[in-house]
Amino acid sequence: MKKTMMVLVMVLLLVPAGLFAGIFDLSVGATAQYNGSVSVEGGFEWQDGMSDPENYAFGADMRMRVLFAEVGVAGLYSAITDGHKIEGIVTGGVSLDLLGLVRVGLGMGPRLSVQFDKDWGSATVFDGNGDPITEDTDFETAFMNAKMTYRATVDLKLGKLLFGINYTIDSDGFTFENGNYDKMLPNFENGGSVGASVLITLF
């Protein structure tokens, strides 16, 4: 009897509360991401630079969810030595609510970045591999050859507000073009970027 009760409790803990939630929701908000590389292989360790706001990129975070499928868009601004940098990532993945208190998500997609000079004059667009995109670039080819990036999110749900952390890390070299699933795992050796977000669910 005790074993049966334990199994039932575990099932209740693991069944996403999203089963009983709305079919669609849209959340928007702000995000901040530490610019340094953070490895989580041996556990998270606080870095000295994390207490300095100048070491962070700031921007917007948007997530749209239909049942358990989620599309996320995050854009970040940071100042660089020669000017300004705006980086964006679009991911597709899954998002689950646990007990109506915690939302966890994992998505994968390409990254793009735009670098401007100090006067916001000239701009250079870079693909997920760090290669510049010009007017001669075949965008389909660039997308198919872009290294895929993972973004994991864990949020605490307080009414319509989401307070959470996120971790962004490149794959080991997987692209839609090469289809090499041996390189699909995150590249933990190089580390990733940790951030925090505050979002409000509009509907």
Residue 93 lies in a domain: yes
Burial class (CB in 10 A: 0-12, 13-18, 19+), 145: middle
Asked whether residue 118 is domain-assigned, the answer is: yes
Task: With beta carbons less than 8 A apart as the criterion, state whether 56 and 32 touch.
Answer: yes
pLDDT of residue 17: 46
Q: What is the extent of the structural domain holding 115?
A: 16-39+52-201
Q: Which residue has the tokens 């925090």?
A: 196
For CA atoms 43, 110, 28, 125, give the dihedral sign. positive
Determine the pLDDT at residue 105: 96
Look up the CATH number of the domain holding residue 101.
2.40.160.20
Query: Would residue 44 count as lying in a domain?
Result: no
Count how many domains the chain has. Answer: 1
Residue 8 resides in a domain:
no
C-beta of residue 162 within 8 angstroms of C-beta of residue 201: yes
Give the model's pLDDT for residue 4.
Answer: 53
The predicted structure's pLDDT at residue 73: 95
The answer to whether residue 46 sits within a structural domain is: no
Per-residue model confidence as pLDDT tens for the chain (203 residues): 544 554 554 544 445 444 445 688 999 999 999 998 888 877 777 888 898 998 999 999 999 999 889 999 999 999 888 889 999 999 999 999 998 899 999 999 988 888 898 888 888 888 767 778 777 777 777 777 788 999 999 999 999 999 999 999 999 988 888 888 888 899 988 889 999 999 999 98
Res 20: pLDDT: 46
Task: Please indicate, yes or no, if residue 7 is contained in any of the structural domains.
Answer: no
Percentages helix, strand, coil for the chain (3-state, rounded to 5) are 15, 50, 30
Amino acid at 117: D
